[in-house]
Structure 1
Amino acid sequence: MVSSQPKYELIQEVGRGSYGVVYEALVKRTGARMAVKKIRCHSPENVELALREFWALSSIQSQHPNVIHLEECVLQRDDLAQRMSHGSSSPLYLELVETSLKGEITFDPCCAYYLWFVMDFCDGGDMNAYLLSRKPSRKTNTSFMLQLGSALAFLHRNQIIHRDLKPDNILISQGRTFAGTPEPTLKVADFGLSKVCSTSGLNPEEPASVNKCFLSTACGTDFYMAPEVWEGHYTAKADIFALGIIIWAMVERITFVDVETQKELLGSYVQQGEEIVPLGEALLENPKMELLIPARMKSMNAGMKQLIREMLSFNPQERPDAFELELRLVRIACRELDWDT
């Protein structure tokens, strides 16, 4: 269906990057608040990132409370808007797919093409902003690690490798319990670098398994990338490494300052003289390097220490998969948590 009548009213800009602009919006008919991401399809790179996000989110057949939900994706050309579906045969959509595959613009460059992603609106900012603006809380840490473990298991069960897990890409929806106390819900977002695995990567006839789907494109954010990603030969176990970085940094409030943005970010690293080096890069140089967990003079549950060490193993085979990880996080949370945060 093609329409020239706007369905959403943009209220204000809430985020901006090289990839697109995110707005808070209202559904005109119901008044519901949504997040709308606008992506200009003016380069093959932008088209590829947008389509990756669309393919990943539209491939999920059910919703998960800790994964951002795609309400709809709208393709706009000039003043006309068309809702996109997975596997669409729309000529406009096929032009974008061809652009992504060929790595060059294959449609009329004089036309203005945009993709609009309508998703959950998260009013609590990202994980960095949320945690670093509050005092450390063991209860929050426990809740967040359980939510992250559940989200990653869900994604891997749906054959999706995220490839860019980091606190900036984890959004917070602020809610409250019946008693009125804050109850934040995490939403894993930003699937522009994600990969949907359709086969095992070894045998095209074997059912998809993210732990057997080997990828070769080195992508992600340096401080959260696993050693094997730097080498360009990895599986979904790279997501486990990234989550290990996030959980360790969250528990001990380990931060660094991003050189480009000067923002304080949660993330674990190795100190080499006056420089800080991404943990994955340091392990690639020295696979036998022993990680100091905990990094600070604080107590930490023995099970938590061991789990973080395994998640950050140089050898991906020594890391738990997302399903084992989810179970172990639940077991740790069910015990008396005697690690300080």
Structure 2
Amino acid sequence: MVSSQPKYDLIREVGRGSYGVVYEALVRRTCARVAVKKIRCHAPENVELALREFWALSSIKSQHPNVIHLEECILQKDGMVQKMSHGSGSSLYLQLVETSLKGEIAFDPKSAYYLWFVMDFCDGGDMNEYLLSRKPSRRTNTSFMLQLSSALAFLHKNQIIHRDLKPDNILISRGRPDASDPEPTLKVADFGLSKVCSAAGHNPEEPVNVNKCFLSTACGTDFYMAPEVWEGHYTAKADIFALGIIIWAMLERITFVDTETKKELLGSYVRQGTAIVPVGEALLENPKMELLIPVKKKSMNARMKQLLKEMLAANPQDRPDAFELELRLVNIAFKDSSWDT
């Protein structure tokens, strides 16, 4: 249904990325707060990233508390808006798909095309902002690890490889002060580089194993990329590596300064002389390199240290899958009284 009446009022800009602007918005009918990511479809690469995110989020048939939820996707052409659904026969939708596939604009460039993703509103910024503005907390570290491993197991169960896990893409929904558990809720977001592993060539009755779904496009963010991603041949085990970098950095508060934005970011690395090198790149050059874990603290729980080393193994086959990872973190958190972050 095409309409000229918008359902949402944009209140303020809360974030800006390489291909979209995120706003805090209100639903006109209910005054509920939502987040709206508004993406201008003026270049094929923007359309491709937007459709990747749309396909990934719309492929999930259930919700998870630690994965951002897509309420709806709206296509705006000039002053008219239309709700989009995956696989829609709408001519506007098909023009976007054609643009993504061909790598050239397949619609009238004189018109202004935008995609609006309406999602959960997260009021606590991202994981970097939240953790680096507070003192280290064992309780928060434990909560965040369990939430992240649960989210990743859910995504992999739904045949989604995120491919760009990093603290910037993990949003915070703050807990109520009067709640029984005041720890905030994490939401894995930004699925623009994600890949949904299809059943093509497989028995459609059997779920696709994301750890056997090989991808060849090298993408992600340097400091969180697994060694095999640098080579361009990898599976969902690359997400395990990225999460290992994030958890290690969180536990020891390891940070680096982004050369472009000058922001301090959570992320582990290897020192080579005066330079800092992404762990994945260093392991690609020297797969037998022994990672110094912990690197800043005097000690670390032995089971946590071993798990981090496995998550960051040069050979992806030596890493746990997302389901084993979730179980092991639960065991460390709740069954080891000497657990110490």
TM-score range, shorter chain: over 0.9
What is the aligned counterpart of 1:204 among 180, 202, 205? 202
Following superposition of structure 1 onto structure 2, how do residues 235-254 of structure 1 map, counting pairs within 5 Å?
Answer: 235-254=235-254
Tell me the CA shift for residue 296 of structure 1. 1.9
2-structure distance, mates of 1:22, 1:159: 26
SS of 2:135 mapped into structure 1? coil
- 3-state secondary structure, aligned to 2:117: strand
Superposed displacement of residue 18, structure 1? 2.0
Partner SS, residue 282 of structure 2: helix
Residue 339 (structure 1) shift: 5.0
Rate the CA distance shift 1:46–1:179 in 2: closer, same or farther, 3 A: closer
Kindly provide the CA deviation profile for residues 123-173 of structure 1, in whole angstroms up to 9, marking residues without a partner as x: 000000000000000000000000000000000000000000000000000
Counterpart in the other structure of 2:325: 325
What is the CA distance between 1:9 and its match in structure 2?
A: 0.7
1:300-333 CA distance string (max 9 Å, x none): 1111001000000000000000011010010001
Alignment-mate amino acid for residue 37 of structure 2? K
Q: Please name the residue that 1:80 is paired with.
A: 80
CA distance in 2, matches of 1:99, 1:80: 20
Q: Specify the alignment match of 1:161 in structure 2.
A: 161
**CA contact 2:252–2:297 (8 Å) conserved in 1:** no
Which residue does 2:30 correspond to in 1? Answer: 30
Give the TM-score taking structure 1 as reference length. Answer: 0.97
Residues in 2 aligned to 1:235 and 1:157: alpha-carbon distance in whole angstroms: 14
**CA distance in 2: counterparts of 1:216 and 1:60, whole angstroms:** 23
- Asked if residue 40 in structure 1 is aligned to residue 40 in structure 2, the reply is yes
Q: Write the deviation string for residues 26-72 of structure 1: whole angstroms up to 9, x where unpaired.
A: 00111100000000000010000000000000000000000000000
Q: 2 CA distance for matches of 1:313 and 1:258?
A: 25
Unaligned runs of 5+ in 1: none
Q: Counterparts of 1:56 and 1:114 in 2: how far apart (Å)?
A: 19
In the other structure, the counterpart of 2:225 is 225
Q: Tell me if structure 2 keeps the 8 A contact 1:149–1:325.
A: yes
Give the whole-Å Cα distance in 1 for the aligned partners of 2:297 and 2:135. 18
CA contact (8 A) 2:143 2:183 kept: no
Runs of 4+ in 1 over 6 A off after TM superposition: none
Distance 1:332 1:181, change over 3 A: closer
Q: Matched residues in 2 for 1:245 and 1:179: separation?
A: 31
The question of 1:190 aligning with 2:177 is answered: no
How far apart in 2 are the matches of 1:297 and 1:22? 37
CA contact (8 A) 2:73 2:84 kept: yes
- Give the AA of the match of 1:110: K
Post-superposition CA distance 1:93-146 (Å, at most 9, x none): 000000000011111111111000000000000000000000000000000000
Q: d(CA) in 1 for partners of 2:58 and 2:64?
A: 13
CA shift in 2, pair 1:166/1:246, >3 Å: same
Q: Displacement, 1:177?
A: 6.2
Cα distance change, pair 35–222 in 1 and its aligned pair in 2 (3 A):
same
CA distance in structure 2 between the partners assigned to 1:314 and 1:177 by the alignment: 42
Aligned equivalents of 1:134, 1:88: Cα separation in 2? 46
Q: Letter of the aligned partner of 2:49 in structure 1? A: L
Give the corresponding residue for 2:306: 306
Distance, in Å, in 1 between the alignment partners of 2:168 and 2:134 is 16
User: SS where residue 211 of structure 1 aligns?
Assistant: helix
* In structure 2, distance between residues paired with 1:39 and 1:125: 20
Aligned to 1:133: 133
Q: Classify the secondary structure of the residue corresponding to 2:210.
A: coil
Which whole-Å CA distance do the structure 1 matches of 2:154 and 2:139 have between them?
23
Contact 1:298 1:340 in 2 (8 A): no
Aligned-partner SS, 1:12: strand
Aligned AA (2:211): N
Query: In 2, distance between residues paired with 1:46 and 1:145?
Result: 32
Residue 187 of structure 1 aligns to a residue whose secondary structure is strand
How big is the shift at 1:299?
2.1
In 2, the alpha carbon distance for the partners of 1:23 and 1:183 equals: 24
In 2: Cα distance, 1:29 partner to 1:2 partner = 18
Distance, in Å, in 2 between the alignment partners of 1:322 and 1:219 is 20
The two structures, once aligned, show a CA RMSD in angstroms of 1.3
Q: Once the 2 structures are TM-superposed, how far is the Cα of residue 340 of structure 1 from its aligned partner?
A: 4.4
The one-letter code sitting in structure 2 at the alignment partner of 1:205 is N
Amino acid in the other structure paired with 1:296: K
Q: 1:179 to 1:59 in 2, by over 3 A?
A: closer
Q: State yes or no: 1:266 paired with 2:272.
A: no
Q: Secondary structure at the match of 2:134?
A: coil
Alpha-carbon distance in structure 2 between the residues aligned to 1:64 and 1:30:
23
Q: What is the rounded CA distance, in whole Å, between the counterparts of 1:263 and 1:338 in structure 2?
A: 35
